[in-house]
Structure 1
């Protein structure tokens, strides 16, 4: 089933195509981000379960890109697909556990959690069944990716000890909602939220979900560390 274009003038179709094309490009870039993360997990000695789950997430991101490019193509009236992905020094692989933990917090715990909330919120007001199906798929997958990131962060805190805990604590203190640029088009009935609504969702999710979860995780790891220390004899 394809998205409906009935009642859309050419300008609105172009804007919807641009919006979904932008999302598709981001999903396409996420494939490389997960691939880099897998190598970093391996370099830091992550358990096979985390590596395997991250590998499965790559397939999810490939599917997300395909679905979003499909919607963009429908609105554009011509086939659209990914361009060559620029490889920059920012994509370099690191074997530093603290860096892995902080990037997992920011890109996974923050980014994927907000993406899951946004997709779930968008599907609630979407009147196009084809678009709603895409959003439901993305919401479910991003929720799973967020849960994976939180598990990986918990592992890194346990494995890395005090240096990792200090780096993550500093990162949590400086967390801000990600920048959200103006939308190409705001059309809730077709699954597109406006920029102001997206910013509000991101800020609320950060405040109500991400920060409390990160602080609980840090607190639990500190309690575990304290209970493991030998007690001084009186």
Structure 2
């Protein structure tokens, strides 16, 4: 389930699903509806997760692999190309799709907790990433970090994310308040949006090209070949 509310002119999206906020197709559709709503008059967006997690991945049912990954890719593109400030209140585990969401944010505040896990364990689970996801990762982290995350399937701590500049701030208490405050401090919104999209232009084009080329179908076929139990 996806909850949406406004806080001081900032839209707050809360992920609230089972298994640590593992998203369903309905969740992704609801999230995309918010991101694509031209009537949404907010200064920026904050994403967070309930249930002591941020997001632990995507629920993929047998037979709907292509639909699931196409929708996830579209969600990532919409998040990455969102013109206003996007902040994430990292309330716990960010695994798979949750980790990819981090790469779309302008500002991330995480909890000071060694218990939270972050990573891309897809290869170790017989899954994988597609070209759209790789294009997003390549625009955010170094090739060596991307290789470590994808090929080893190891989880990392918030300290490593901070070292890789995927986390901007670590704190205790209500992380959402800090994210709303960050967005409120961004002056000259039009200039911010113009420069943000300019800096992300190449990444956005590569992600769109990958989706148009059907990269999600390659990932779906990989999973079917591996006969993974989804």
TM-score (norm 1): 0.29
Larger Rg: 1
Hey, which of these two has a bigger chunk of strand by percent?
2
TM-score (norm 2): 0.29
